[in-house]
């Protein structure tokens, strides 16, 4: 029914895309499979297809199931707007708002979740194919997946602030190769993007915000990249998470609050977290857990400050200030050339009176921590009813602040044979000098003594 | 008049896109607003639209005014070609040229500037909407905005070399969220891209060259990114400029001459300038001014050499060689792992006989300057009538050059409590050792003394 | 014949795109030139065009010759799937496979190579135009170029594993400006992308794998960028190669095996190789040759381990373990903040019993090697018939490994006046201390002696 493998959800004869774009897309995929049955006919046969979603609102009531390679689904607008801000505007002010909802090529996820709560059931796009070869080159580009509403979670938090609704944007269940997610918008989903067993995956230049968790690479995988995204999860979830990956490149991302972590790696090896801007309201920003080893953490900008927005005051991730902004349980990692700003009100430190920790080596051996710069300021924090101006004010505030004493690097007894260079003054590094090599950052007066020796 | 929110400027019934694409696009925007009036109808209602500009020449005589969210304007070609080179080819050779003008999906900005000289009046695309929410998710992609000609500036400079014409490509006047500028081309505009009060803006993979100023983020803003662009402003202007931003990520850009600066930050905090390649013909390449603090400047490649192209010989930005290539007026910044190449003719140094400065800390406190490598060579510079080959020749020239004495780091008395590590030999660092911590880069012979001590 | 400069290969009246898309595209280019003859008509005239390739299989039997600026060729799917894995699956299992070939908007290169073996003759897309100005703003986006088969090379290697077939994806023969290659897929070509004399080229976000060589920038050039690509060449070729370039930015790439090198620079100056993830099965991963100088090599992750996949066991690039993973023949380069993992079976070291070298300075002077972290483990390697799982297993394996003695930095006598800081213990650095400055990475016990001195 398509002569050139190009489909448009608004012109496809089956289903009504406004009412259920899932039914429409599944019908298109069935058509692709009906037409592309022969392979190896003159070295070809199953080229796949492209499905276009024009700007518009499309309810999705039937889960899309993708089991063909070379399928590209694209729209003409990532369509993000802040639902979180709007839902925290009194409803009697809504008539004064220019618009209420996200837009662009917008999928409204409206799936009747099953009673069993199985996570994959709540996915708008579900990719599943077993057998060989692995499903390849599925691409999602430049449209918006909107979960529309969050639900009560029993905590007393207003329902639209819970980040809970059982909905996932894209869920890839099986081993896959050379997938692409580019230019997309994700908003108000409990999980934006969940991908198992990825090889050579590219998640590039997306806008993923106000979702419970944003990017989760589960199972295992290799040689993928998460680059140049704007990302910010909810307070319960992950902005960027990966487990059992090797050769993963996480770089050039701007990760904003309020994820429970900014980047969380579990059993990840020989990977890079470099050149990102990470901002969080809690400790535990970058976590290398479960023997994550031989990774490079370099030239990232870490900022931890306080929640400035009234609706989320008092919310945290349960970690206290001794946990560290960067926490390493693993071996032979490199932590080089990062900037850390800890801008907090000393009255808020937990446990009260503690000295906050910036880099913490919890377990493992052989980590190399070098040339990191820690800035810590004690500020009187203020909150605001305006999310945006509060955040900007907080970001730009450096006036009227005092230096705050911190532990730049703390090495637990379970971690040994680490090398710590120029990442804190002698007093700012807590480590057993008998089993770790330390060169403290020189302070004024060092030069004189040094010069004496070197001459 | 559009059934699926997709418009094409060449098929829209109002106006003539070749004569005035501005009138056409404004008519389309009016249509969008006429059709999309209801909001909250079943959680939707104002999805926006996409406007397509096919390859072609489109004069723009009426300013486009954008006041709707979720509008995507895209073309099929960024269309850059060097107008600067062509305008400096004798006109009697023009008939021999394959083509004379930029191309692709090309907007020729031909706006009758008002007599009041108001900058925003000269903008081809003017985005303005007050009230709530902030205008969101406007996208510009893959077309060309061409100012066509520069004007005389009274200096005697040939008019096409002045970088002055009062024209701006895109001007965003109000607070905005999640905008995207991707894959665009900008050429021969006095200002390519001027954006006030940006939140989560992405300026990615554009070609912005031969404009007076290229990217200016004004007002204030947060959590934005300027990534993976090819950028080069005119000698009077900014290649990349931001003021009062926090959490800005400027990375992976290739910034070429001849901007008065490569990156200029004014009151910018907790931001990153990392991993860029910066090339300039003048001092003052990267400026952190007006108490820009807690920023990370890491793993950038700085090259300062001489103007090789005859038409611009003798032009400069007014700064002498004591100003520094990187100038910091601010506190608690991190300057880590950068490479600096200063490749100049010692006869050209101003003031004559001075020792050029590479990194200069002008005011502030607590900056951390570590592991920067300075290369300085004294070369006999040559100019050429051929822009391209002259530049390539200059870039590749390392032969027949002598070492040039430079001050790697100069700390003014207004800046204190800085830490300077491994960024220059003892003789190359000018700083008050009583108030700044210094560890000079070891030179040959250091090892012997050091080994003596450590054993 | 096109009213708005938009073409579709499936609707163009000349030729049959399935049988020979080359004939179709050449006919379209002829049409563009027929229609766009006048220039300077009201500051315009030759805007170029866009050619669309819908998803599908298109044989290319006639070379496409591009000699017009502002031409954009784009598809709707990069279409990569692993042909290498499939060709190493027994053919009697092929009927069980979901699909056999790459897909998306797929060009099958089927060019009758001339008897003279001239490389450019085998190019699917050949860009050639002399005269002025340089050809500008040609763009390739989001389609697949597939060489389909490799040929016997006389070595006894199965023909589909040779990486030899005389086919090139895109070959640019002349000086060019502001080209773009974005979102493309390249597979089973002897050369994917060969570009001479590039200025302000952008190669961004492509998938280039299972090609003999992937990206080669030849001749000379400046101010280009190779960013955010997934790249992996064959064992004989280059993943990323450049010669005589200045101001080249190679960053944010994930380069996987099995290229003879990951990045090879020949006479390249004032360029950056930063923030990449590089993985190889052989020494000689990053080569700065032929007086490549003043480059910045920073915050890259290098992993060298063993070929795990049975079909390529025993293949190598001919370099032994003394060659170094990073080899520098040039001056004044900066090597800062890189992580190196050498994960090999000590029984495999060549020459047997040698101590493998990580960074080797072969010739030149004035290089600055600082803050690099070397991890070396001796593992018992295992191979597998499954390419993917073998690689993942290998990447994640850190158990049951012992430390391996390596030379972190070796400085040959032809290289002098280098500075080597914190990049290996005293025993791990082989350099003439009389002509190179060395500060060894501190080891446990250093702190005590140091503290004694500094106080």
pLDDT tens digits, residue range A134-175? 999 999 999 999 999 999 999 999 999 999 999 999 999 999
CA distances from A66 to A73, A123, A170, C72 (A): 11, 12, 10, 30
pLDDT for position C116: 64
Per-residue pLDDT band for A387 (boundaries 50, 70, 90) equals: low
Given a cut of 50, is residue C442 above it in pLDDT? yes
**CA-wise closest residue to A309 among A116, A89, A110:** A89
Task: With both helix axes pointing from N to C terminus, report the angle between B446-454 and A446-454 in degrees, rounded to the nearest 10.
Answer: 100
Give domain status of residue A243, yes or no.
Answer: no
Rounded average pLDDT over B350-367: 97
Rounded average pLDDT over B385-390: 67
**CA-wise closest residue to C340 among C367, C321, C359, C356:** C359
- Chain C residue numbers with beta carbons less than 8 Å from the beta carbon of B185 are 137, 178
Cross-chain CB nearest to B137 (options A78, A276, A392): A78
- Smallest Cα distance from A303 to chain C, Å: 20
- Chain A residue numbers with beta carbons less than 8 Å from the beta carbon of B435 are 444
Q: Do C137 and B89 touch (CB under 8 A)?
A: no
Most A CBs within 10 A among B223, B291, B415, hence the mutation to make, goes to B223
What residues contact residue A269 under an 8 Å CB cut-off, 6+ apart?
A: A245, A246, A292, A293, A294, A295, C395, C396, C398
Given a cut of 60, is residue C448 above it in pLDDT? no
Kindly state the tokens that stand for A298: 């370099």
Q: Do A39 and C100 touch (CB under 8 A)?
A: yes
Q: Do A74 and C76 touch (CB under 8 A)?
A: yes
Given a cut of 60, is residue A355 above it in pLDDT? yes
Partner residues linked to A419 by β-bridges: A368, A437
pLDDT for position A398: 56
Cβ atoms of C448 and C455 within 8 Å: the answer is: no
Length of chain A counted residue by residue: 455
Work out the percent of chain C whose per-residue pLDDT is above 90: 87
Task: State which residues form the domain around C341.
Answer: 254-443
- Chain C residue numbers with beta carbons less than 8 Å from the beta carbon of A332 are 341, 375, 398
Question: Are B186 and B309 in the same domain?
Answer: no
Cβ atoms of B272 and A422 within 8 Å: the answer is: no
- pLDDT per residue as tens digits for the range B96-112: 999 999 999 999 999 98
- pLDDT per residue as tens digits for the range C168-183: 999 999 999 999 999 9
Least confident span in B421-435, C303-317, C427-441: C303-317
**CA-wise closest residue to B340 among B371, B381, B382, B384:** B371
Higher pLDDT residue, C398 or A194?
A: A194
Partner residues linked to C126 by β-bridges: C65, C171
Q: Do C453 and B455 touch (CB under 8 A)?
A: no
Question: Are C175 and C103 in the same domain?
Answer: yes
Work out the percent of chain B whose per-residue pLDDT is above 90: 87
Cross-chain CB nearest to B391 (options C136, C222, C225): C222
Per-residue pLDDT band for A399 (boundaries 50, 70, 90) equals: low
- A266 φ, ψ to 5°? -125, 110
Given a cut of 90, is residue B450 above it in pLDDT? no
CATH of the domain at B308: 2.160.20.10
Cβ atoms of B395 and C247 within 8 Å: the answer is: yes
How many angstroms separate the CA atoms of B318 and B315, rounded?
9
Rounded average pLDDT over A15-20: 97
Rounded average pLDDT over C195-211: 98
- Smallest Cα distance from B445 to chain C, Å: 7
**CA-wise closest residue to C125 among C210, C68, C205:** C68
Domain boundary among A193, A211, A229: A211
Domain boundary among C211, C235, C269: C211
Cβ atoms of A20 and A61 within 8 Å: the answer is: yes
pLDDT for position B105: 98
Number of domains chain C is built from? 2
Give domain status of residue C328, yes or no.
Answer: yes
Question: Are B32 and B96 in the same domain?
Answer: yes
pLDDT for position B448: 43
- Chain C residue numbers with beta carbons less than 8 Å from the beta carbon of B444 are 417, 433-437
pLDDT for position B130: 93
Rounded average pLDDT over B441-448: 72
- Measured over the CA atoms of residue B413, residue B417, residue B423 and residue B428, the dihedral's sign is positive
- Chain B residue numbers with beta carbons less than 8 Å from the beta carbon of C40 are 94, 100-101
Per-residue pLDDT band for C380 (boundaries 50, 70, 90) equals: confident
Question: Are A381 and A312 in the same domain?
Answer: yes
Give domain status of residue A240, yes or no.
Answer: no
Burial of B351 per CB tally in 10 Å (0-12, 13-18, 19+): exposed
pLDDT for position B4: 86
Given a cut of 70, is residue A242 above it in pLDDT? yes
Q: Do C223 and B256 touch (CB under 8 A)?
A: yes
Q: Do B77 and C275 touch (CB under 8 A)?
A: no
Q: Is B315 left (phi over 0), alpha (psi -120 to 50) or beta?
A: beta
Cross-chain CB nearest to C133 (options B56, B81, B298): B81
Using CB atoms, list chains with 3+ pairs below 8 Å to chain A.
B, C
pLDDT for position A116: 64
pLDDT for position A45: 87
Question: Are C147 and C53 in the same domain?
Answer: yes
Higher pLDDT residue, B235 or A4?
A: B235
Give domain status of residue B216, yes or no.
Answer: no
Give domain status of residue A377, yes or no.
Answer: yes
How many angstroms separate the CA atoms of B425 and B408, rounded?
8
Q: Do C48 and B79 touch (CB under 8 A)?
A: yes
Give domain status of residue C262, yes or no.
Answer: yes
Cross-chain CB nearest to B247 (options A100, A277, A422): A277
pTM for the full predicted model: 0.97
Question: Are C265 and C140 in the same domain?
Answer: no
Give domain status of residue A163, yes or no.
Answer: yes
Question: Are B188 and B263 in the same domain?
Answer: no
Given a cut of 60, is residue B398 above it in pLDDT? no
Spatial strand order of the sheet with A185-187 comes to A56-60, A105-109, A144-146, A185-187, A207-211, A230-233, A254-255, A277-280, A301-304, A339-344, A373-378, A402-403
- Smallest Cα distance from B126 to chain C, Å: 23
pLDDT for position B399: 54
Burial of C117 per CB tally in 10 Å (0-12, 13-18, 19+): exposed
pLDDT for position C388: 66
Question: Are C325 and C389 in the same domain?
Answer: yes
Per-residue pLDDT band for C398 (boundaries 50, 70, 90) equals: low
Kindly state the tokens that stand for C20: 């020979």
Rounded average pLDDT over C254-278: 97
- Smallest Cα distance from C373 to chain A, Å: 7
Given a cut of 70, is residue C197 above it in pLDDT? yes
Q: Do B79 and C275 touch (CB under 8 A)?
A: no
Cβ atoms of B360 and B333 within 8 Å: the answer is: no
pLDDT for position B41: 80
Rounded average pLDDT over A308-327: 95
- pLDDT per residue as tens digits for the range A87-120: 999 999 999 999 999 999 999 999 987 656 689 9
Rounded average pLDDT over B77-96: 93
Q: Do C39 and B81 touch (CB under 8 A)?
A: no
Given a cut of 80, is residue A422 above it in pLDDT? yes
Domain boundary among A211, A243, A278: A211
Cross-chain CB nearest to A228 (options C100, C228, C443): C228
Cβ atoms of C270 and B339 within 8 Å: the answer is: no
Give domain status of residue B49, yes or no.
Answer: yes
pLDDT for position A64: 98
pLDDT for position B39: 81
Given a cut of 70, is residue A71 above it in pLDDT? yes
pLDDT for position A449: 43
Kindly state the tokens that stand for B152: 């005389």
Chain B with chain C: Cβ pairs closer than 8 A: 286
What is the number of alpha carbons within 13 Å of residue A140 lying toward its C-beta? 30
How is B301-354 classified by DSSP, letter by letter?
Answer: EEEE----BGGGTT---S--TTS-SEEEESSS-EEES-EEEEEE-GGG-SSTT-
Most C CBs within 10 A among A31, A43, A204, A367, hence the mutation to make, goes to A43
Most B CBs within 10 A among A86, A388, A445, hence the mutation to make, goes to A388
Question: Are B389 and B279 in the same domain?
Answer: yes
Cross-chain CB nearest to C54 (options A5, A200, A453): A5
Other Cβ atoms less than 10 A from the Cβ of C252: the count is 31
pLDDT for position C164: 95
pLDDT for position A40: 84
Given a cut of 60, is residue B185 above it in pLDDT? yes
How many angstroms separate the CA atoms of B424 and A126, rounded?
56
Question: Are C259 and C207 in the same domain?
Answer: no
Residue identified by tokens 């080959």 is B389
Q: Do A421 and C442 touch (CB under 8 A)?
A: yes
pLDDT for position B181: 98
pLDDT for position C210: 97
Work out the percent of chain A whose per-residue pLDDT is above 90: 87
pLDDT for position C45: 87
Q: Which segments of A42-172 are extended strands (E)?
A: 49-53, 56-60, 64-66, 71-75, 105-109, 123-127, 135-136, 139-141, 144-146, 168-172
How many angstroms separate the CA atoms of C136 and B185, rounded?
12
Q: Do A177 and C80 touch (CB under 8 A)?
A: yes
- Chain A residue numbers with beta carbons less than 8 Å from the beta carbon of B44 are 57, 101, 106, 108
How many angstroms separate the CA atoms of B304 and B278, rounded?
8
| Averaged pLDDT of chain C | 93
Given a cut of 50, is residue B58 above it in pLDDT? yes
| Averaged pLDDT of chain B | 93
- pLDDT per residue as tens digits for the range A276-301: 999 999 999 999 999 999 999 999 99
Given a cut of 90, is residue C76 above it in pLDDT? yes
Which own/partner contact pairs does C88-96 have at CB distance under 8 Å and 24+ positions apart? C88/C158, C88/C160, C88/C161, C88/C311, C88/C387, C89/A132, C93/A132, C94/A40, C96/A131, C96/A132
Question: Are A207 and A258 in the same domain?
Answer: no
Question: Are A27 and A93 in the same domain?
Answer: yes
Q: Do C396 and A368 touch (CB under 8 A)?
A: no
Per-residue pLDDT band for B116 (boundaries 50, 70, 90) equals: low
Q: Do A337 and B371 touch (CB under 8 A)?
A: yes
Most B CBs within 10 A among A337, A387, A402, A421, hence the mutation to make, goes to A337
């Amino acid at each position: 029914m398509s002569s050139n493998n190009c489909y448009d959800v608004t012109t496809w004869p089956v289903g009504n895309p406004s009412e259920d774009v899932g039914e429409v897309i599944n019908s298109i995929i069935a058509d692709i499979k009906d037409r592309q049955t022969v392979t190896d006919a003159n070295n070809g046969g199953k080229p796949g297809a492209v499905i276009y979603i024009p700007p518009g609102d499309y309810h999705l009531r039937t889960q899309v199931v993708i089991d063909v390679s070379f399928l590209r689904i694209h729209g003409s607008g990532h369509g993000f707007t802040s639902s979180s801000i709007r839902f925290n505007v009194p409803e009697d002010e809504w008539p004064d708002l220019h618009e209420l909802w996200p837009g662009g090529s917008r999928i409204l996820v409206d799936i009747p979740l099953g009673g069993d709560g199985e996570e994959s059931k709540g996915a708008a796009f579900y990719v599943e194919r077993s057998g060989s070869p692995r499903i390849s080159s599925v691409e999602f580009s430049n449209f918006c997946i909107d979960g529309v509403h969050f639900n009560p979670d029993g905590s007393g938090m207003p329902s639209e602030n819970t980040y809970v609704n059982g909905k996932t944007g894209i869920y890839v269940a099986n081993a896959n190769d050379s997938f692409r997610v580019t230019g997309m918008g994700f908003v108000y989903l409990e999980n934006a993007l969940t991908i198992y067993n990825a090889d050579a995956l590219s998640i590039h230049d997306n806008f993923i915000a106000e979702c419970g968790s944003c990017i989760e690479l589960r199972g295992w995988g290799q040689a993928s990249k998460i680059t140049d995204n704007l990302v910010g999860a909810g307070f319960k979830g992950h902005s960027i998470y990966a487990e059992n990956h090797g050769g993963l490149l996480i770089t050039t991302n701007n990760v904003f609050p309020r994820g429970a972590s900014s980047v969380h790696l579990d059993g990840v090896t020989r990977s890079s977290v470099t050149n990102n801007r990470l901002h969080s309201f809690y400790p535990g920003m970058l976590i290398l857990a479960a023997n994550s080893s031989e990774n490079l953490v370099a030239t990232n900008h870490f900022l931890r400050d306080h929640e400035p927005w009234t609706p989320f005051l008092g919310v945290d991730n349960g970690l206290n200030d001794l946990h560290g902004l960067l926490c390493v349980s693993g071996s032979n990692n490199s932590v080089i050339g990062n900037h850390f700003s800890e801008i907090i009100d000393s009255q808020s430190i937990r446990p009260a009176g503690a000295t906050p920790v910036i880099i913490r080596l919890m377990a493992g051996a052989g980590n190399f921590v070098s040339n990191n710069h820690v800035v810590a300021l004690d500020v009187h924090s203020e909150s605001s009813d305006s999310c945006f101006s509060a955040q900007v004010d907080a970001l730009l505030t450096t006036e009227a602040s005092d230096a705050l004493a911190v532990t730049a690097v703390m090495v637990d007894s379970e971690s040994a044979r680490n090398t710590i260079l120029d990442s804190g003054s002698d007093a700012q590094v807590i480590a057993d000098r008998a089993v770790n090599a330390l060169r403290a950052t020189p302070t004024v007066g060092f030069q004189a003594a040094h010069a004496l020796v070197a001459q």
